[in-house]
Structure 1
Amino acid sequence: MLRKTNSVPLHTQASNYMREKIYNREWDVDEKIPTEFELTDILGMSRGTVKRAIKSLVDEGLLVQIPGRGTFVTRPNITHPSGNCLLSFAESLHSQGIEFETQVLESSIIRADAFLSEKLQVPVNAPVLFLRRVRTVDGEPIMYIENRLSMLVVPGLDKVDFEQESLFKSIERCAGKRIGYSQARYAAKIAGEKRGEILHVGEEAPVLHLEQQVFLSDNVPVEWGNVWLRANRYVVGTVLQRV
């Protein structure tokens, strides 16, 4: 599992492994993670290294240890909405006269698991478009975007060229309805290995993470997504109501 010949310390590799489990919702909010002994077997490493990796994620606020019960994924407890006009990031950049490019890293149809079934209000195994994009300004990546969209609500969305067309406009065109509002949460996090590589920052670099659920004007959820923003390049004010 771990690359012992890698120059990255083992405890950092272990932290990256666990951080990805949390970021990808493989370990969900309030879920108990494997025990230190189980992680020792999974990762093929010493218990001391596992303990050190867990402590670093506790210090980041991603995990909490409850004596006698185990270690759990923390529940974010602060949501700070502001503003009254819902814009996509592409629309926001356009409004500021900032030129950018979008690269699609992945566009595939996946099946809704229990988590996406709840978020998108679709049956388990319903088709969901999984979209990964990176957006650059002057050749420098400023945001990494993951979207999960209900194909039952926006049929044909998988045919869109997202390197040329913005997501919100595509949703409204394919759904035949306006986007109504979003529920958004921002938090400061550590990039981790995967997102650090995409954003061209160190894996320990701070990033701003947006978790957002988007609803159509009839209150039907259409998208659940995550945006990871380079903290040294982006200042964001959340916006909620589309006008």
Structure 2
Amino acid sequence: MSADEIDWARRLAVDASRAMPLYHQLRERLRIAVREVEPDTPMPTERALMEFTGVSRATIRRAVADLVSEGLLVTRQGSGTYTAPARVPTELGRRPRGFTDTMARLGRQPSTKVLEAELVAASAEIAERLGLAAGDQVVVLERLRLLDGEPCMVERAHLPADLVPGLLDRDLDGSLYDTLSLQYGLVPAQGTESIVAVNADQRLARLLDIPMAAAVLATSRTTSTDSGTHLEYTLRHARGDRCSFLIELGASGGQLGDHSSLDPALRPALFT
């Protein structure tokens, strides 16, 4: 359904005689209405909403602000308010899958822009994540992941250089996991992933085309092969309006519990 097909005056009617505050009535009516509209649809202007509802601009703004904070609406400077874009779910807790594979399974068009690809000496922190000694060589691969041509996520992967000789000479625009599997016989089979919300710094905001200090979803992933060989340590920063993360609870052989330990590297934005 499009926004033009909704009878806003009827759907958003509020009753001043009720004990419930007007902004609360309006917010709940808006909540129902926007869920029936296609993602990324422009909403009526503040002036139009005032005409539909008969309430003040302050009441309109308060109700809309609540739905923006919940992620049901998004505001775009100089453009207006829109229903939130459809989020792309990424599964956490199952066998590790890469961005390209996940998006292809969902029928979306993934693409990649390589930002950095180099061989460096591992810091103590990176070495610990990968089961290496500090100073051992690692491949660092930072890429901007796009979905249907729009920036979606920045990934920074670290891999033991000894496992992937010649990786920097290969095409790195596609699936890294496919390259690891087909060229090196390395398949991510198990690992851990943590998630936290951080604020985008200037560089991350520019790369993802979002406002400075906007909230982004940040994850850290470590994976290994079936034989236990440490394979990758990857940090990802994803746009909250385009990505969501799905965690399967009570997986086979697992237990539910309090897993509150998060990678300290994610607490500030990674990029400076």
Q: TM-score, normalised by structure 1?
A: 0.61
8 Å contact from structure 2 (residues 154, 236) kept in 1: yes
The C-alpha deviation readout for 1:105-137, integer Å capped at 9, x for no partner, is 111111112112111112222211111100112
Secondary structure at 1:225 match in 2: strand
Question: Alpha-carbon deviation of 1:176?
Answer: 1.9
Assess, with a 3 A threshold, how the Cα gap between structure 1 residues 236 and 202 changes in structure 2: closer, same or farther: same
Residues 23-172 of structure 1: pairs in structure 2 closer than 5 A:
83-163=93-173, 165-172=174-181
> How well do the aligned residues superpose, as a CA RMSD in angstroms?
2.1
Q: Which residue of 2 aligns with 1:10?
A: none
The whole-number CA distance in structure 2 between the counterparts of 1:158 and 1:195 is: 24
Give the alignment partner of residue 208 of structure 1, picking from 214, 217, 231.
Answer: 217
Q: Which residue of the partner structure matches residue 6 of structure 1?
A: none
Name stretches of at least 5 consecutive residues in structure 2 with no aligned partner: 1-90, 252-272
Q: Is 1:233 matched with 2:236?
A: no
Distance in 1, Cα, partners of 2:247 & 2:155: 16
* 1-structure distance, mates of 2:231, 2:192: 12
Change beyond 3 A, Cα 1:220–1:103: same
Are 1:85 and 1:239, in contact at CA under 8 Å, matched by a contact in 2?
A: no
Q: State the one-letter code of the partner of 1:137.
A: L
Given that residues 159 and 233 in structure 2 are in contact (C-alpha distance below 8 angstroms), is that contact kept between their aligned partners in structure 1? yes
Q: Does 1:178 align with 2:198?
A: no
- Number of residue pairs the alignment of both structures matches: 160
Question: Are 2:92 and 2:193, in contact at CA under 8 Å, matched by a contact in 1?
Answer: no
Match of 1:21 in 2: none
Inter-CA distance 119–141: structure 2 relative to 1 (3 Å threshold): same
Question: In structure 2, do the counterparts of structure 1 residues 180 and 138 end up closer, same or farther at CA, with 3 Å as the change threshold?
Answer: closer
Point out which structure has higher relative CO (alpha carbons under 8 A, 6+ apart). Answer: 1
> Which structure would you say has the larger Rg?
2
Mark the CA change 1:120 to 1:191 in structure 2 (over 3 Å): closer, same or farther: same
C-alpha change, 1:82 and 1:215, in structure 2 (3 Å) is: same
User: Per the alignment, do residues 236 and 109 of structure 1 end up closer, same or farther by CA in structure 2, a change over 3 Å counting?
Assistant: same
Cα distance, 1:99 vs structure 2:
0.6
Distance in 2 between residues matched to 1:101 and 1:88, nearest whole Å: 12
The question of whether the paired residues in 2 share the 8 Å contact of 1:154 and 1:175 is answered with yes
- Counterpart contact for 2:108–2:148, Cα < 8 Å: no
Q: 1:85 to 1:118 in 2, by over 3 A?
A: closer
- Tell me the TM-score normalized by structure 2: 0.55
Q: 1:203, CA displacement in angstroms? A: 1.6
Percent identical pairs in the alignment equals: 24
Alpha-carbon distance change, 195 to 90 in structure 1, aligned in 2, over 3 angstroms = same
